[in-house]
Structure 1
């Protein structure tokens, strides 16, 4: 695993005295992408295991569902409190340390004797899994400017693949070895990835001339949206696309399990494998962005999201429309996400991780809000309420894209 030696043209925002970026080798990129996927996969292991966990720990399925909330809360805390550290400390040490901590947290979860202990270890593990975003930001910094979209696309593809496979593999392992088996397996794989990165990943020092204290670093992170209009627009665009997308998945589970389809839980989980289009779309978007088509990629994403909800409006009893709409929504979200990251990573190299922290917090916050709203709207208007939420979010994405295109 080596770092490639090609010398790209200097980035427009690079200092005149800065050496050219050496780029990132394929082997190292694959390893970092795999580690990114493994880091976030741990946050989704419990999704198909709630019944098993509740029985093993002597609690109710509703109480066990708090594990999902704990994972999201922990990851959000990691995005805000941990990822900005990559702007002031050596990044290899930070990433490897976080991966090792996440592996230890997964092992502690597997050994948890009660639900409160499992909730605590889940929060700790999810916070450390923010290593995924540290790795994405580090990869973007290591990439040659003309290759940044491909690198970010590959790493986000790894992240999405981890999310996609976590639920399916977790269920299969639990069938063979009980609910703790997925946790032990993930802990072992994550510890192995941490050790491999320690050997293969070069040291990566902060880009800025000064290193603020941690309180000042957090204050700077929170204040970034006020100082960076592009971050505000792109972050809001990503939040709205995520709100519609997570709202779709919330409504999808209710629709497929309801009287219109009547599918069992296993079939609903396997239906999620359609999201495999996401990693592919992320890599395609990255390569197009490298060729100077960032705005066109965002426009295509906004159009795909709008088309998705137009198709989904008639999908309550039509499976082909449901499949087509889901594919369009998945591809559209990844195009918007990847193109926005490509733009934001080029803004301020010395604050790249803080910018990523704010952006991803907005993205996941929008998804959490969309999922919550979709559940409430389903209770009042059913599938039509979910479609109304998604269509509104799609309109917001289109408006923000037009604003960004006019002002950039």
Structure 2
């Protein structure tokens, strides 16, 4: 016998404005889990007597865990009921957040951070499910709306964790995160549309098919490369920001570091516009715009240690540029093979978050040694490589 929630799913328009809004909210709460630690890294490290570089590895560990979750769990979205999959992952994510809260040692904290990332992939199950219900001529707009939720999640996570961590301690923030996961569960149960499985492949066959998708789809390869590089640049700044702001000339605590999350409003406001631009102008142009915007951001970041205005401007451009690249890439890969959307998303987002882990790790070492200039150099190198990859894709007509 169908449950009330199931009957509501069947009766509701799967892409009504209310559903898209609630799914964007679900994406926001899901992705926020990855970023609660970023404004709190200095305090988390200090509580175990660790340096800023060591604390920065917590962000890298979370991103690496997320990449692992993308490979291990997101392909199952093509094979089994997505609601059941998401609710199971959320339950394990809540346990992982509790493990962070009560971690007795720094090693245990790293392990728990990996587990948080591993089980925080629910947004990447929701996005291909919803985009698959959209008509091709509005898919960019729908993806843009869902990615507005991701932008809101980044803003929400960094701002909330900065305030809570600054006043009640970093462990309290992760207890709050458990409650937020509970709210996310309610949204998923009530409003995630039913989407039938698109394949009967076994779990082993699902995983082995990922390599075939990479070999068969040149568009996917370009998206993976540019996504890796652009998110590496993005994570280089955000993974190092709290540690840099704690030093001269700013001496900001976690609450002020978290307040910088408000620059995410730029990406939040720009995402629907970017989605419409993809529908009208095409993926190639929007991707190149995004890569060049990220490059411009880090050119401004050269002076971020001298004047806070340069830092804010750089962060706004970085958020818009990264978001443009993400919408352009995801809109394109979802059009490749409808029966493999979850697996396409797995390949792309795994590369994307491996880039994030790489950027955060490289920047943690260079900023400790060279400060803001080390951060700027890291971002400029990644952004230049992304721009060249996008240009090469245009010339070879791979995108």
Scaled by the length of structure 2, the TM-score of the pair is 0.85
1:191 deviates by 2.2
Q: Does 2:197 align with 1:206?
A: yes
Instruction: Give, in angstroms, the shift of residue 133 of structure 1.
Output: 0.5
Q: Contact conserved, 1:50 with 1:61, CA < 8 A, in 2?
A: no
Give, in angstroms, the shift of residue 117 of structure 1. Answer: 5.6
Q: RMSD of the alignment, in Å? A: 3.0
Distance 1:183 1:248, change over 3 A: closer
- Taking the aligned partners of 2:375 and 2:42, their CA distance within structure 1 comes to 27
* Superposition pairs of residues 9-408 of structure 1, within 5 angstroms: 24-49=15-40, 59-61=48-50, 67-107=58-98, 109-110=100-101, 119-174=110-165, 179-207=170-198, 210-250=199-239, 252-253=241-242, 255-379=244-368, 381-406=370-395, 407-408=397-398
User: C-alpha displacement at 1:111, in angstroms?
Assistant: 5.7
Structure 2: how far apart are the matches of 1:27 and 1:341? Answer: 22
Cα distance in structure 1, aligned partners of 2:369 and 2:50? 24
- CA offset digits 1:45-98 (Å, max 9, x no partner): 34445676678xx84355776654443232121111101111111223222332
| Structure-1 separation of matches of 2:292 and 2:42 | 39
Cα 1:299–1:68 change in 2 (3 A) is closer
Q: Indicate the structure (1 or 2) with the bigger Cα radius of gyration.
A: 1
CA distance in structure 2 between the partners assigned to 1:175 and 1:373 by the alignment: 27
Change (3 A) 1:66 1:340: closer
CA distance 1:178–1:85, shift in 2 (3 Å) = same
Deviations 1:198-245 (CA, angstroms, capped at 9, x unpaired): 2322321123xx422111211111342222111111111111111222
SS at match of 1:43: coil
Which sections of structure 1, spanning at least 5 residues, go unmatched? 6-21
Q: Which moved more, 1:215-224 or 1:234-243?
A: 215-224
Q: Is the 8 A contact 2:165 2:254 kept in 1?
A: no
Distance in 1 separating the partners of 2:371 and 2:182:
44
Q: Deviations over 1:284-323 (max 9, x none)?
A: 2112223343322223212322322333334442332332
- CA distance in structure 1 between the aligned counterparts of 2:105 and 2:145, rounded to whole angstroms: 38
Aligned residues: 388
- Alignment gaps of 5+ in structure 2: 1-7
Matches of 1:310 and 1:50, distance apart in 2: 25
Structure possessing the higher relative contact order (Cα contacts under 8 Å, 6 or more residues apart): 2
Residues 60 and 361 in structure 2, CA contact (< 8 A), matched pair in contact too: no
Equivalent residues of 1:23, 1:144 under 8 A apart? no
Quickly say closer, same or farther: Cα 1:353–1:257, change in 2 above 3 A. Answer: same
> How far did 1:179 drift?
4.5
Cα pair distance change 1:180/1:250, threshold 3 Å: closer
Compared CA separation, residues 106 and 336, structure 1 to 2 (3 A)? same
Question: Are the equivalent residues in 2 in contact too, given 1:40–1:162 (CA < 8 A)?
Answer: yes
8 Å contact from structure 2 (residues 56, 361) kept in 1: no
Contact 2:38 2:242 in 1 (8 A): no
Rate the CA distance shift 1:3–1:306 in 2: closer, same or farther, 3 A. Answer: farther
Contact 1:23 1:143 (C-alpha < 8 Å) held by counterparts: no
Task: Give the TM-score normalised by structure 1.
Answer: 0.83
Post-superposition shift, 1:194?
A: 1.7
Report SS of the residue matched to 1:291: helix
Q: Which moved more, 1:136-145 or 1:184-193?
A: 184-193
Q: Distance in 1 between matches of 2:366 and 2:165?
A: 33
Shift of 1:282: 2.1
